[in-house]
Structure 1
Amino acid sequence: MIVYEYPFNERIRTLLRLEDLYEKFKFFVHQEHAMQHHVALATIFDMLEVAGRADLKSDLLQELERQKQSLLSYRSNPNVAADMLDAVLLEVETVSSALVAAQGKTGQNVRDNEWLMSIRGRTIIPGGACEFDLPSYYAWQKRPAEQRFNDIVNWFAPLAPLFDALALVLRLLRDSGGPVKMIAIAGSYQQMLQGKVYQMLRLTMDEAMGAIPEISANKYMLWVRFTTQGGDLKPKPLEEDVPFELTLCNF
């Protein structure tokens, strides 16, 4: 099965972009080649660009507090497993406390490092991080892989609480909805939302079908049009019925 996600607003779009960057960072930082560590470091710079909004930290803290209050309201419900509820509440409290303890602007430690900023300035230029442009960076890349790994992890460490909070918020959001089986007749599906506000859409389908959803949505209507790829990879309309599962997520 393959899952496609569609954010309904800019706030969730930003969180999904950061999650995507974090997944790339975790992959490349655990590799050993200098070029892979270069990608990991460049990904940190990309994170700073996306996370540059000053209110991102406060947004996450507010959302975690809302989730905490919402979860507390379930304590009196006999149908809710108390141990599981307590575990989630503890996780929310732990992540929130770590984010509150993170001082200063997101990524300020990287911005205060002149050497890292010189690398960031050159990586914006295609091919700008060559050895003749940044000999000190070239020398660092020749250090043992373990030493480079430790350096990158230390540079990322102050960002970790933000990404832990982000991961928890997105997990709670994804768990908020239940999948419903649908069929796109002749490759097209529409649903009226009657003004109900959702944060994110999740569409799950059989990868073997080769169908690709093109999604557009607002608070009034959801529209999905399925396409497929030919030999030239250019999308073209899919005219057959497509079964899929639709999950509408909202806090």
Structure 2
Amino acid sequence: MSDINTMILVEHPLNEKMRTWLRIEYLLQQLLYEKNFKNIASALTFFRAASDLIDILERFEIRGDLLKKLEHQQQKLSNWLCAPNTDKDLIDSLIIKLADCTNALISASRIQDHLKENRLIISVRQRLSIVGGCCSFDLPALHLWLHLPDEDQTQYIDHIIQTLKPLHHGLMMILDFVRQSSSLEMVNSLNGFFKGNTEKGELLRLGIPLKHRVYPKISGHKNRYVIHFIPLEPEQSRSVDDFSFELACC
């Protein structure tokens, strides 16, 4: 059972690019952690994530945007080398990691092509939009694959994940820099509302005490935002008492 004193971390993007990056991160997490297929449900989580990832990579110029951000971050770190009292060894190591991510992304072919050329992914992808369309008689190839030895399944999944490593490493480097650009600070909500201003903000991070049983509905963009806390239980009063929560605008 969850500790009632637990802080729930919630993230909300303040621009479309960050929104897309967070969705890719979410899908990559499913691909990376749904590797032990105990049943059809866990397998479909993996293949649905792969299908959704194809859609995003087809619609947006992800690699180009990541390369620009990686280059910008390298330049920013290089400028910090001239500042006094900086940890030059740490900065040099980060610049090297960013350069490695950049080179890996440049060298990688169109990432979605590896997924689109996978016959099993495509066969599942074609059935996902059909209600109940992933039964064993609809997808006999998947039904057979689920009965293969574990080592065969692992080899298959590891190959897919290997093709996604340049995307995964580059994206995580960027998101780590964004998340670490601002620390969580305690602020107060008033009647379940909080308003804030920011300059070129990309990501809001909230630490919300579980005991209040509220979730945030956030609207905003890079200059200003509004947070409205809503009770989880419908029988609760629509108004929310004042309470403190943690907030970082990155």
- The whole-number CA distance in structure 1 between the counterparts of 2:100 and 2:89 is 16
- The whole-number CA distance in structure 2 between the counterparts of 1:209 and 1:175 is 26
Note the alpha carbon deviations across 1:111-140, whole angstroms, 9 max, x for none.
Answer: 123443222212332222222222222111
SS where residue 15 of structure 1 aligns?
A: helix
Moved over 6 A (4+): none
RMSD, aligned α-carbons: 1.9
Q: Determine which of 87, 92, 97 is the counterpart of 1:81.
A: 87
8 Å contact from structure 1 (residues 187, 227) kept in 2: yes
SS where residue 122 of structure 1 aligns?
A: coil
Change (3 A) 1:235 1:144: farther
Q: Determine which of 143, 150, 154 is the counterpart of 2:155.
A: 150
Q: Determine which of 217, 220, 225 is the counterpart of 1:217.
A: 220
Unpaired runs of 5+ residues, structure 2, are 1-6
- The whole-number CA distance in structure 2 between the counterparts of 1:149 and 1:34 is 15
Q: Please, what TM-score do these two structures have when normalized by structure 2?
A: 0.89
Q: Determine which of 161, 164, 167 is the counterpart of 2:166.
A: 161
Q: Determine which of 91, 94, 97 is the counterpart of 1:91.
A: 97
Query: Hey, what does 1:57 align to over in structure 2?
Result: 63
- The whole-number CA distance in structure 1 between the counterparts of 2:197 and 2:160 is 47
1:41 paired to 2:47: yes
Change (3 A) 1:4 1:72: same
Query: Hey, what does 1:120 align to over in structure 2?
Result: 125
- The whole-number CA distance in structure 1 between the counterparts of 2:236 and 2:108 is 45
Unpaired runs of 5+ residues, structure 1, are none
C-alpha displacement of 1:219: 4.0
8 Å contact from structure 1 (residues 12, 199) kept in 2: yes
Query: Hey, what does 2:135 align to over in structure 1?
Result: 130
Q: Please, what TM-score do these two structures have when normalized by structure 1?
A: 0.89
Note the alpha carbon deviations across 1:197-220, whole angstroms, 9 max, x for none.
Answer: 211111112222222221111344
- The whole-number CA distance in structure 2 between the counterparts of 1:4 and 1:235 is 22
Give the partner amino acid of 2:241: E
- The whole-number CA distance in structure 1 between the counterparts of 2:81 and 2:236 is 49
Aligned pairs, number: 243
Give the partner amino acid of 1:161: P
Change (3 A) 1:123 1:149: farther
1:240 paired to 2:232: no
Note the alpha carbon deviations across 1:35-70, whole angstroms, 9 max, x for none.
Answer: 223321221111111222351101000100000000
Change (3 A) 1:192 1:246: same
- Over the matched positions of the two proteins, sequence identity in percent amounts to 27
Which range is displaced more, 140-149 or 115-124?
115-124
